[in-house]
Structure 1
Amino acid sequence: MTRTIDIGVFTTAQLLDAIAPSDGGRDILDPATGAIVGRAPERTTAELDAAISRARAAQRSWAQLGHRERSSYLDKAADAVDANSEALAELLSREQGKPLNGPNARFEVGACSSWLRTTASFEIEPEKVVDDGVGHAELHYRPLGVVGAIGPWNWPMMITVWQVAPALRMGNTVVVKPSEYTPLSVLALAYVMNTVLPPDVLSVVAGGRDIGEALSAHEGIDKLMFTGSTATGKAIIRSSADTVKRLTLELGGNDAGIVLPDVDVKAVAQDLFWGAFINTGQTCAALKRLYVHEDVYAQVCDALVEVAASMPMGIGLEEQNVLGPLQNRTQFDIVAALVETARESGATVLVGGDPATEQAGYFYPTTLVADIDNSNDLVTHEQFGPALPIIRYSTIDEAVAMANALDVGLGASVWSTDIDKAREVAARIEAGTVWINKHGAVDPRVPFGGSKQSGYGLEFGVEGLKQLGAPQIISY
């Protein structure tokens, strides 16, 4: 059994000091204020090689512990995250920009411990494939070895745990490469978890693109998990080919939502808003294009404008705010250009669309765009920010055709008071997950993955856990 572990409790300053490089590195800036948050190490590919070697050396003894003891370690890691939740949330807010409150920093840190505990709780037993009195065959899942994990900047802590928890539970060791934009959050999370995990089971190697490229091609990595853009995912597929490593790719999305004419607008307005604007729109499975039947189009637009007006945006450490800045200048410029293109095409900007130039930080106002054509760039390009196009439709066939027209299919949603009708429409949508009367509501028990160019492989639940194992048939 695992030994009794005293869990350390740290301040944000202590975490930053613990993860800071002894020399070199680079400053990480707060996207809300421009102030220095802390200093991140810039590791070399030689240091990556060393981390992978240590992970491989630690993997055998970690695997030999068995599921029950590894689950106990995951529970202890969750305890450590909970004990340090406020310090982690403050650091996350300062580095990523998301506010403490709302479905943001405190929510994200809480999700980390929840995912660890839930993953630890899954039962995974050998499956009888044949048992007919003549022959027997069982399906087992064995550890793969060393898993590489490359994470994004939008939910840096939570998505890291999505990758790490099932990999560790299955008996693999993990080497994480965080986004260059948000390395401190991931380094601090791993530091906290490593106060209770055995040495070298979980490593973080922060650095630039060269680290990600080396990780995806490295012969010492048995599986790679990646969350990010479709373009980078394609590059990873190519670079991983020579080593035939397994991949789980959660790539870009441009999720559609279809509002049916029988919808109760007041009942769903808040959920529609947060489906689109969670994390200030910086979420892969956020609602990014909304199709509304002509009978309720004006009502939905008015209701969303009213909700938007009630949601304060500002510096994340100020408790009243629930929307924050875009995390980086590149993303700010993308959103601004797409909204301006829509405006110039004749679309109606109902609210937002004009960032305050005198304000520090990458704040783009909550923006709703109506009377927009389905071929507009704001509809066809993933904006990944706080700007939602609202497209009018006349028939369900038309709405489904527009929703399915793009080459991505991560998530989608249908909004209606008639669940049976909503299920019929949902079955026609080409997406890995279709929610009804909600959007982006991921659950650690429910498998999640994309279709088309939104990636392949499943995460979450027992099915996601199995994808971190090597299937083995024992037949006798």
Structure 2
Amino acid sequence: MTAETTTHTPTTYEDLLASVSAGAEGREILDPATGELVGYAPEHSVEDLHTAVEVAADKQKAWAALSDAERCDYLQRAADAVDAAGEALAELISREQGKPLSGPGSRFEAGACSTWLRVTCSYDLSEEVVVDDEQAHAVINYRPIGVVGAIGPWNWPAMITIWQLAPALRMGNAVVVKPSEYTPLTVLALVEILNSVLPEGVLQVVSGGREVGAAISTHEKIGKIMFTGSTATGRKIAESAAATVKRLTLELGGNDAGIVLEDADPAAIAEGLFWGAFINTGQTCAALKRLYVHDSIYDAVCESLTALAGQMPMGHGVDEQNVLGPLQNKMQFDIVDELVKKATDSGARVLLGGDPDYEAPGFFYPATLIADIDPDNALVVEEQFGPALPIIRYTDLDWAVEQANKLEVGLGASVWSSDRDRAVEVARRIEAGTVWINNHGGLDPRVPFGGIKQSGYGVEFGVEGLKALGVPQVING
């Protein structure tokens, strides 16, 4: 459980898996596309967590004593190690999480890990002069928090873990990572790769159940928690963390709306709409999950999107031709299936999909488009987190904006138009942390990202995200 620096980075799939699999005494991890065994995940305990935190707290002091340039050099070399093991890591992601190697899939995810490490080192965080005049001189710097607890999800297990740990490490913190029970091997492998470069002990990983995550939220030596996951779990973390007044960055659930204005070109926006909704088979917090289309182009948008979606191959992630994979687990399959059934039972029109093969192996749910659906249907107002997109017709833009804003979540949204200035005007009326114009869900490590309302608080990425992993200290005088 306590990660140690090694001199060898495992670069083949077999070596990488062998380096993290616990053997037959661990918990079986099965491929969501086939049900076949991938490997065995270690089952760490709360006591293991306590040990990891103690080691991290001890090693953090020397890590923080390094210069910013020295820590960035470590992270750059860690990025090199990720690149060297990129294909092996991508295969493990495909086999454990399910996303295909191709398209915006596991190779994309593995590549994003090294990109985020490198870009996180590119920001200038020099001392900032706040006041400098005849009366006063004040500067602000950011100091390490100490130990950061990072709790990640199963949909983008490697990439989101990097989002959490890269800025934390650069700011001089040690990190204890707790992966999802559904995708522990990917995160264990990622940490193994990083720890082939990083100093011993500053990055720890504890693979366990909910009790381990709960212990992170109350541990007195953890000063901040980075959490990506459901709103319900985020609430519990916030409640538990209150006793020790931990700092929190919470990126929680979303139900992102897209609004297509009447001047949009249906054929031109079809691909952007598709990937906005169906990237990672819809299993993305900031995916497009409900689409409002003006009546004048509603049928044309439905036709263009259906034609494109029908051409996208779905299957086992390690098969190169596939760009859509299975849902990661049975629970998520059942959620999507139930919501689509509620939509069809209500009389909504199925444009594509909606007919899974329940007898086939794997948790495959076909890409599904649902038209002429009531705006209050469960498929619209509940987050499906899967490959089923409801398309709602509107005639009044004010009504569409009101619908976009009516839910308690506010992670992302998008506006689609041939007139960018008009799209921006509409975007300013939408209650979401990020509103994209003519795309949806595209993230940039330089651009802050975070939700509002019950989609969480705090931001990741960019200088603002980096500052969130430090403690501001003002020297006045």
Shorter-chain TM-score category?
over 0.9
Give the alignment's TM-score, normalised by structure 2: 0.98
Count residues in correspondence: 472
Distance in 1, Cα, partners of 2:16 & 2:9: 11
Superposition pairs of residues 48-197 of structure 1, within 5 angstroms: 48-197=49-198
Distance in 2, Cα, partners of 1:268 & 1:21: 47
Matched with 1:216 is 217
Cα–Cα, structure 1 residues 7 and 436, in superposed 2: closer, same or farther, change >3 Å?
Answer: farther
Using the TM superposition, give the Cα deviation of residue 6 of structure 1 relative to its aligned residue in structure 2, in angstroms: 6.4
Q: Deviations over 1:194-227 (max 9, x none)?
A: 0000001111100100000001111010000000
Q: CA contact under 8 A between 1:251 and 1:455: conserved in structure 2?
A: yes
> Which secondary structure state, in structure 2, belongs to the residue aligned with residue 149 of structure 1?
strand
The answer as to 2:226 corresponding to 1:225 is yes
The answer as to 2:234 corresponding to 1:206 is no
Matched with 1:246 is 247
Residue type at the aligned position of 2:337: A
Matched with 2:274 is 273
Give the alignment's TM-score, normalised by structure 1: 0.98
Q: CA contact under 8 A between 2:11 and 2:86: conserved in structure 1?
A: no
Matched with 2:289 is 288
Q: CA contact under 8 A between 1:32 and 1:325: conserved in structure 2?
A: yes
Matched with 2:413 is 412
Cα–Cα, structure 1 residues 433 and 164, in superposed 2: closer, same or farther, change >3 Å?
Answer: same
Distance in 1, Cα, partners of 2:25 & 2:136: 62
Q: Deviations over 1:399-452 (max 9, x none)?
A: 100000000000000000100000000000000000000000010000000000
Superposition pairs of residues 386-405 of structure 1, within 5 angstroms: 386-405=387-406
Distance in 2, Cα, partners of 1:9 & 1:97: 22
Using the TM superposition, give the Cα deviation of residue 23 of structure 1 relative to its aligned residue in structure 2, in angstroms: 6.8
Residue type at the aligned position of 1:74: L
Using the TM superposition, give the Cα deviation of residue 357 of structure 1 relative to its aligned residue in structure 2, in angstroms: 2.4
Q: CA contact under 8 A between 1:142 and 1:170: conserved in structure 2?
A: yes
The answer as to 2:50 corresponding to 1:39 is no
Distance in 1, Cα, partners of 2:337 & 2:359: 16
Matched with 1:234 is 235
Distance in 1, Cα, partners of 2:259 & 2:171: 38
Is there any run of 5+ residues in structure 2 with no aligned partner, and where? 1-5
Residue type at the aligned position of 1:344: D
Q: CA contact under 8 A between 2:347 and 2:373: conserved in structure 1?
A: yes
Residue type at the aligned position of 1:123: D
Is there any run of 5+ residues in structure 1 with no aligned partner, and where? none
- Percent identity of the aligned residues? 66
Matched with 1:428 is 429
Using the TM superposition, give the Cα deviation of residue 7 of structure 1 relative to its aligned residue in structure 2, in angstroms: 5.8
Residue type at the aligned position of 1:347: A
Q: Deviations over 1:452-473 (max 9, x none)?
A: 0000001000000000000010
Q: CA contact under 8 A between 1:7 and 1:83: conserved in structure 2?
A: no
> Which secondary structure state, in structure 2, belongs to the residue aligned with residue 121 of structure 1?
coil
Residue type at the aligned position of 2:28: D
Residue type at the aligned position of 1:192: I
| Runs (4+) off by over 6 Å | none
